[in-house]
Amino acid sequence: MKGIKTWIAIASGCLITTVRRPVLKGRTPAQAAEVYTASAWMLDPLSPPERFYLDALARALGLEAALAQQIEAAVAASGAA
């Protein structure tokens, strides 16, 4: 259990740094959706850390959960990921 807690702490620290960079670029709702789409496009299949990243990114960008799900569905349907 200690190993998992350590991994989560490290991953969370990396996530904060990783999420801040794209969030700075998502200044309008359209830009936020584009940043989220680009991230979702790169991640397939989603591993638990990648799911954690996308969820945190959506929150940081201020995207509603329904919009994030629509973006992910569109990316999956395009076969691009």
pLDDT at residue 1 tops 50: no
Higher pLDDT, 75 or 10: 75
Domain range enclosing 17: 2-78
- pLDDT tens by residue, 12-60: 555 555 555 555 555 788 988 988 999 899 887 788 888 988 999 999 8
Q: Around Cβ 64, how many Cβ atoms within 10 Å?
A: 10
Into how many domains does the chain fold?
Answer: 1
pLDDT of residue 81 exceeding 60: no
Dihedral sign computed on CA atoms, order 23, 29, 34, 38: positive
Distance, CA of 64 to CA of 60 (rounded, Å)? 11
